[in-house]
Structure 1
Amino acid sequence: MDPRLQRRVQRYGWDKAAAHYETYWRRQLEPVQSQLLRQTSAQRGESVLDVACGTGLVTFPVAEQVGSTGSVLGVDLSEGMIAGARTIAEKRGIANARFERMDAELLALEDATFDAALCALGLMYVPDPRRALAEMHRVVKPGGRVVASVWGRRVNCGWAEIFSIVDARVSSEVCPMFFQLGNGTALQDEFAAVGFTHITTERISAQLRYATADDACGAAFDGGPVALAASRFDDIVRAQVREEYLASIDAYRDGTGFAIPGEFVLVSGHRA
């Protein structure tokens, strides 16, 4: 895919998803987000960058960790996500976190500015993940740390049929290599390629729990990566894709809801 087109798809797709993201993904992503926060190990007084911050699921816990003497900058390509994060920060009275719309591959930030940088489940959507990692490497101070998480292997993510179901009706144009960074040592290799040292890798399995079929479908079609494509469906097509998606996750029924398997890869490294 043309990188410019991919960036537009991501920007406007996540604008569509922004209003639903917290509802359908906050609790489901907690296991990997918590481990990412532990790996980042933000300390009081530090300056931290959160790339592809979304609505701040990770940004706000980091802001609490660094305290009033520290600061967090959350950046995202989606203006909808940034607007949502700013609203949450204002409602909660969080003064040490700010948010800016910014491309992960071209961070408008000075070199060696941050003590740490992180990217929670954002690199799958970037046309050139290595370039984004190189930018994070550039903006952290010598000795600074970077932590990133991505979805794992497709075979271990029970919701993955959503892409083929949607693409059979309308091209989702979501990153065709969505699961590539979750295979083998792919993400670890990207960290090494841009010069990180002391690299560690962890693979995490989790269950994405949804209380009802409506919640499972809301996460898949309204709050996730195919939101832009799904917004083009009429009522008939939407009913068809809903039925097919529910059939694809039927094996994971848990009472009236679902416990859908998911896998994540988490990699950390230091700037020498």
Structure 2
Amino acid sequence: MFFESDAYEGFMGRWSRRLAPLLIDFAEVGAGQAVLDVGSGTGALTFAAAAVPATRVTGVDPAQQYIEYARVRADGASVRFEVADAQALPFSDATFDRALALLSLNFVPDPGRALDEMSRVTRPGGVVAAAVWDYGGGMEMLRAFWDEAVALDPTAPDERRMPLSRRGELAALWSAHGLESVEERRLVIEMTFTSFDDYWRGFLGGQGPAGRYTATLTESQRAALRSRLHDRLAPSGEGFTLRACAWAARGVVTR
């Protein structure tokens, strides 16, 4: 779904960087901890966790392109990046104090298996936490896109059907997989777009379900979708601000 580092940064990366500190706060990442970022992408959560004093942070992602991009960005930071599958993490049991996943768990083929792996590599008493966009209405950038896409094409693959994106779903998964003291929190951020094109460009890089769908459209179909979105979001031609909400869950490893 996501594969090209620069295109991802222009589309979702800026949101990830803004959301990352909220997940770190929710997971209570503290000084001196060993932290794992599962599905690290271009490194937003890894670098945010590394800002906590004396943390030792490892980011893993299945995409070699993302890992190479993040390694270049590291530029001396005390982080490391490895290519790895969330469903088969290459670490010993109880290696980390915190295992986190930001906007990635819903793209894993078997999220339950990935959660078991995150729990396995987290020490007893450590915390496993993740956040997923509320695609049904809370992530306004994508909600506006899919509302207008579906109005033009009822067969458009609306992301509101994404797994783990509704209230209670992540928390239920955490409880079903043996984590204790499970908590859920709604994380909210905002993003200001300087112009409509600042918003629209993100969909033209082929990233994620929305970008992939946009790439399948003919030139006239893309123009029609662009026009509807422009009328909805920036009819006056000025910049605008959109809100994004994510559901987050955390739980304690007790085995």
Please tell me the TM-score bracket, short chain as reference: 0.7 to 0.9
| 8 Å contact kept, 1:76–1:82 | yes
Q: Does 1:47 align with 2:34?
A: yes
Q: Does 1:239 align with 2:223?
A: yes
Secondary structure of the structure 1 residue equivalent to 2:52:
helix
Matched, 1:269 2:246: no
Per the alignment, residue 21 of structure 1 pairs with: 8
Q: Partners in 1 of 2:15 and 2:35 — Cα distance?
A: 24
> Which residue in 1 is equivalent to 2:70?
85
Query: TM-score, length-normalised on structure 1?
Result: 0.79
Paired residues of 2:97 and 2:122 also in contact (CA < 8 A): yes
Question: Residues 72 and 210 (structure 1 numbering): CA distance in 2 closer, same or farther, change over 3 Å?
Answer: same
Distance 2:250 2:222 in 1: 40
- TM-superposed deviation, 1:216: 0.7
Q: Deviations over 1:145-164 (max 9, x none)?
A: 11111112512332225347
Q: Does 1:157 align with 2:145?
A: no
What is residue 5 of structure 1 aligned with on the other side? none
Q: Distance in 1 between the 2:106 and 2:171 partners?
A: 14
Tell me the TM-score normalised to structure 2 length.
0.84
Matched, 1:219 2:202: yes
Q: CA deviation at 1:169?
A: 10
Number of residue pairs the alignment of both structures matches:
250
Give 1:131's match in structure 2, choosing from 96, 113, 122: 113
Identity in percent? 29
Tell me if structure 2 keeps the 8 A contact 1:24–1:215: no
- Which has the larger displacement, 212-221 or 158-167? 158-167
> Mean Cα displacement is larger for which, 204-213 or 231-240?
231-240
Alpha-carbon distance in 1 for matches of 2:13, 2:139: 17
Displacement, 1:36? Answer: 0.7
Measure how far apart 1:251 and its partner are. Answer: 4.8
One of 161, 173, 176 as aligned partner of 1:177: 161
Match of 1:97 among 79, 86, 98: 79
Give the gaps of 5 or more residues in structure 2. none
Cα distance in structure 1, aligned partners of 2:67 and 2:218? 29
109 and 88 in structure 1: CA distance in 2 versus 1, 3 angstrom threshold: same
- Per-residue CA distance 1:16-66 (angstroms, 9 max, x = gap): 3x2133344454345532211112333333221101111111101212325
Question: Where do 5+ consecutive residues of structure 1 fail to align?
Answer: 1-9
* Counterpart contact for 1:44–1:65, Cα < 8 Å: yes
1:208 aligned residue: 191
Look up the equivalent residue of 1:181 and give its one-letter code: L
* 1:37 has 2:24 as partner: yes
Separation in 2 of the partners of 1:110 and 1:98? 16
Task: Give the Cα–Cα distance (whole angstroms) in 2 for the partners of residues 253 and 113 of structure 1.
Answer: 52
Question: Corresponding residue for 2:58?
Answer: 73
Preserved CA contact (<8 Å) 2:138 2:246: no
CA distance in 2, matches of 1:45, 1:28: 27
Say which of 114, 128, 134 aligns to 1:146. Answer: 128
Matches of 1:252 and 1:191, distance apart in 2: 40
Note if contact 2:206-2:212 (Cα within 8 Å) is conserved in structure 1. no
- Residue 106 and residue 21 in structure 1: after superposition, are their counterparts in 2 closer, same or farther (change >3 A)? same
1:70-112: CA deviation from partner (whole Å, max 9, x where unpaired): 42111112222212111101xx222x21112222222232222
Distance 1:59 1:254, change over 3 A: farther
Matched, 1:260 2:245: no
Three-state SS of the structure 2 residue aligned to 1:75 is strand
